[in-house]
């Protein structure tokens, strides 16, 4: 997906034109993603027969277009919850229409997406890409309400056809629930103070646009913190967006299904833009890369060895050159793993 920086939607970004004639942002860490996923798609210069790539966060299709062009035998299953993104991606990927299946779904719908593509839910996929967070398109469309630098309706739904909005949360949640959201998903130190001020102000006038919320945050967060902690709205907007879209719950549900869908030799790449996402990824991978053979036994029990091997040491970050070329890659954290064995049922 063509992604924007999680923490600074005002950062400049290189642009180009997609095949639909729309301005687009450069896909983040595109060549590094290819380095990591490519060995599962091509061996000794020959494309793997029946190779399937899942792009779980299709967006405008920047990553997918690259892989479809680079691997002529590749089949793509692309998911996105945003109908507008799917429409634009479909236009961009039209030259490959006989090799793609695009599905309107959150990324925890991988099993259903594979079914729509006529593929089994386990061991049918060669490569998977998760490029998490909010997309450039969503930030750049003012009426979506993701960007705190633009006064817009407080929506923040990645799929604007369903679910509650950020305004709904601000106007209906009790103090405890609102403070929990801000602290858990935004790691906001002043969550309680902000929640109290939201409840006070909404009695006078319900929240409808981002400007009113930004004004509240400038008033509620101490000046000393505002001078050193980045934009005062950054953490609250992140928290509301994660809550509106159920992002972490969806990610926690998606990862096991994604890992199970990989063939032996299949690879998966995750690109996260904030610590909460990266933590979910790290914790989900951890039990899959260790042995379940009881300690002290002299040999590995059949089917009890590690199922995956990590391909990155910790979370990789963008290089200085990448950040210079694409500033929106600055906060990315990349993790990757390869399926090395089947594992017996627990």
Q: 62: annotated binding-site residue?
A: yes
Sequence-ordered list of residues with C-beta below 8 angstroms from that of 140, at least 6 positions apart, any chain:
4, 147
Separation of alpha carbons 143 and 292, rounded Å: 50
Question: What backbone torsions phi and psi does residue 303 show, to the nearest 5 degrees?
Answer: 75, 5
Indicate the Cα dihedral angle 56, 318, 4, 58, nearest 10°: -20
Is position 71 annotated in a ligand binding site?
no
Alpha helices in 205-285 (DSSP H): 210-220, 223-228, 234-245, 247-261, 275-285
Q: What is d(CA 72, CA 135) in angstroms, rounded to the nearest whole number?
A: 27
Residue 131 labelled as part of a binding site: yes
143 is in an annotated binding site: no
102 with 89: CB under 8 angstroms?
yes
Tell me if 61 is assigned to a ligand binding site.
yes
Tokens of 30: 């595109």
Question: Is 55 known to sit in a ligand binding site?
Answer: no
Other Cβ atoms closer than 10 A to 172: 12
Quote the tokens at residue 129: 């890409």
Nearest to 157 by CA among 83, 70, 98: 83
Q: Are 258 and 226 in contact (CB under 8 A)?
A: no
Q: Which residues contact 183 (CB under 8 A, 6 or more apart)?
A: 191
The reply, when asked if residue 176 is annotated as ligand binding, is no
Annotated binding site: 61-63, 80, 107, 131, 138
Annotated binding site for S-adenosyl-L-methionine: 61-63, 80, 107, 131, 138
């Amino acid at each position: 997906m063509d992604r924007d920086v999680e923490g600074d939607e005002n950062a400049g970004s290189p642009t180009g034109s997609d095949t639909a004639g729309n301005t687009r942002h450069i896909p983040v860490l595109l060549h590094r993603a290819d380095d990591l996923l490519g060995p599962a798609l091509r061996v000794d210069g020959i494309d793997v027969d029946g190779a399937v790539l899942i792009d779980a966060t299709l967006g405008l299709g920047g990553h997918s277009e690259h892989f479809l062009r680079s691997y002529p035998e590749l089949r793509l299953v692309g998911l996105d919850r945003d109908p507008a993104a799917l429409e634009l991606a479909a236009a961009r990927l039209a030259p490959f229409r006989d090799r793609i299946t695009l599905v309107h779904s959150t990324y925890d719908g991988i099993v259903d997406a594979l079914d729509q593509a006529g593929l089994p839910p386990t061991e049918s996929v060669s490569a998977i890409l998760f490029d998490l967070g909010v997309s450039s398109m969503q930030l750049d469309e003012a009426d979506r309400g993701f960007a705190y630098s633009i006064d817009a309706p407080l929506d923040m739904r990645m799929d604007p056809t369903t679910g509650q909005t950020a305004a709904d949360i601000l106007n209906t949640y009790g103090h405890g629930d609102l403070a929990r959201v801000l602290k858990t998903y935004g790691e906001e130190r002043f969550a309680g103070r902000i929640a109290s001020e939201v409840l006070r102000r909404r009695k006078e006038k319900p929240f409808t646009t981002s400007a009113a919320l930004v004004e509240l945050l400038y008033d509620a967060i101490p000046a000393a913190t505002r001078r050193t902690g980045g934009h005062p709205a950054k953490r609250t907007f992140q928290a509301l967006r994660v809550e509106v879209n159920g992002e972490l719950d969806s990610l926690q549900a998606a990862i096991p299904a994604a890992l199970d869908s990989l063939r032996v030799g299949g690879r998966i790449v995750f690109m996260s833009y904030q610590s909460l996402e990266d933590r979910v990824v790290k914790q989900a991978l951890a039990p899959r890369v260790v042995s379940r053979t009881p300690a002290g036994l002299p040999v590995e029990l059949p089917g009890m060895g590690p199922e995956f091997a990590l391909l990155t040491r910790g979370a990789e970050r963008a290089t200085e050159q990448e950040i210079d070329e694409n500033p929106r890659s600055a906060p990315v954290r990349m993790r990757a793993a390869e399926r090395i064995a089947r594992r017996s049922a627990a």
